[in-house]
Amino acid sequence: MLLPLRYPRLWLAAGWSLIALATIVSLLPTQKLPNVHTSDKFAHAAVYTVIAIWFVGIYPKSRYVVIGVGLFLLGLAIEGAQSAMNLGRQADVYDVLANAAGIGLGLGLGWLGLGGWAQRIEALVTKR
């Protein structure tokens, strides 16, 4: 159950688009990826933090554990797919740990007050 939002389908579509983009980028062959001059582990943590923050913005705190477990399982599935595809990618337990750190950070920020941010955005936009 989503938070009461004026545009729930838009918020959900954007969140699932983030997941799709992260999945596609994670499964591209390494030679097709740009060199962003950052740590691979930092990138994993950052992406999962952003996705977790997105979903804590549209779901109530009672759903945070489900969000966390779902994102963790997504990361595991992607690592398994990378290993199985033989496209220059490989499964890495440290990627899973970086994903988990990002998920924990995103959920933690939700519990500390960032949760429900989408409602606040909608309230600001609709006041005008």
CB within 8 Å of 100: residues ≥ 6 apart: 48, 72, 75
Q: How far is CA 9 from the centre of its chain?
A: 17
Helix ranges, 1-128 (H): 8-27, 40-56, 64-85, 93-109, 117-127
DSSP structural state of residue 32: G
Tokens matching residue 44? 């994993």
What is the rounded average pLDDT for all residues in the chain?
A: 94
pLDDT over 70 (residue 128): no
Between CA 63 and CA 45 the distance in angstroms is 21
The tokens 């990138």 sit on which residue?
A: 43
Cβ-in-10-Å burial (0-12, 13-18, 19+) of 29 comes to: exposed
- Average pLDDT score over residue span 19-34: 88
pLDDT over 70 (residue 31): yes
Q: pTM of the entire structure? A: 0.94
Q: How far is CA 84 from the centre of its chain?
A: 22
Longest dimension (CA), the chain: 52
| Domain locations along the chain | 8-27+40-127
